[in-house]
Amino acid sequence: MSKQLIEVSKFLSCVLRHHPDAIGITLDLEGWTDISALIAAAAIGGKHLDRDLIQAVVTISEKKRFAISEDGLRIRALQGHSTEDVDIEYVEQVPPEFLHHGTATRFVESILKEGLIAGSRQYVHLSQDEQTALAVGQRHGKPVALKIKTLFMYKRGYNFFQAANGVWLVAKVPMEFIEY
């Protein structure tokens, strides 16, 4: 992905997941905002966006963080929101036996004591495979992939959801379900 697309992706992540108010846009309960309003608000803040650039980020991104509505008029982040204004209604799913969580080694001791918590986000994010989890963990330092006993958790009453980009979501992961 080009430097420009990476910058636009980071900008979209910021405003569509965490700070829509930073440029004066609003997100509905499902996280959608009007693309024209996004482009206009970004321009006022000195950030040039157009529909082709936004479409390129959505299409080319390996992580598939964003979706454009079927009518092509709205955009949203698929998961990872920290704003309380968004509460996407995901469909509950039965998870596979194990999923993985990527983090940095410096956080492992705390995680093994307290479990995984969503922190400022709405959900803990889990990956289908260890390699993806390691790539996520690498963003924060020396990576480690924790193995999560997700089917066991599900059978104990925890709700799991899967975002459209394949990321699994759960409110928290108590330490007894984590293998290191």
124/61 same-domain check: no
Q: Residue 140 has what pLDDT?
A: 86
Q: Residue 162 has what pLDDT?
A: 95
104/162 same-domain check: yes
Q: Residue 69 has what pLDDT?
A: 96
Tell me whether residue 91 is in a domain: no
Q: Residue 62 has what pLDDT?
A: 80
118 pLDDT above the threshold of 80: yes
pTM value? Answer: 0.81
- Find out whether 166 and 128 touch, Cβ atoms under 8 Å: yes
**What number is the average pLDDT over the span 73-91?**
91
Q: Report the domain count for the chain.
A: 2
Final residue belonging to a domain, choices 22, 43, 77 = 77
Q: Residue 84 has what pLDDT?
A: 84
The SS3 of residue 162 is strand
Tell me whether residue 36 is in a domain: yes
**What number is the average pLDDT over the span 65-88?**
93
The SS3 of residue 59 is helix
Q: Residue 45 has what pLDDT?
A: 87
Tell me whether residue 54 is in a domain: yes
Of residues 118, 28, 30, the one with CA closest to residue 82: 118
Final residue belonging to a domain, choices 43, 77, 111 = 77
Taking only the tens place, the pLDDT of each residue in 144-175 is 999 999 999 999 999 999 998 899 999 999 99
Q: Please give the residue range of the domain that contains residue 17.
A: 3-77
The domain that holds 39 is classified in CATH as 1.10.10.970
Q: Residue 18 has what pLDDT?
A: 95
Sorting pLDDT into bands at 50, 70 and 90, what band is 1? confident
Tell me whether residue 83 is in a domain: no
Rounded to whole angstroms, how far apart are CA atoms 164 and 18?
A: 19
109/142 same-domain check: yes
- The span from the first CA to the last CA of the chain, in angstroms, equals 33
The SS3 of residue 103 is strand
Q: Residue 107 has what pLDDT?
A: 95
Tell me whether residue 14 is in a domain: yes
Taking only the tens place, the pLDDT of each residue in 13-68 is 999 999 999 999 999 999 999 999 999 999 998 999 999 999 999 999 888 899 99
Q: What is the mean pLDDT of the chain?
A: 94
Final residue belonging to a domain, choices 17, 43, 77 = 77
Taking only the tens place, the pLDDT of each residue in 125-144 is 999 999 999 999 998 899 99
The domain that holds 174 is classified in CATH as 3.20.170.30
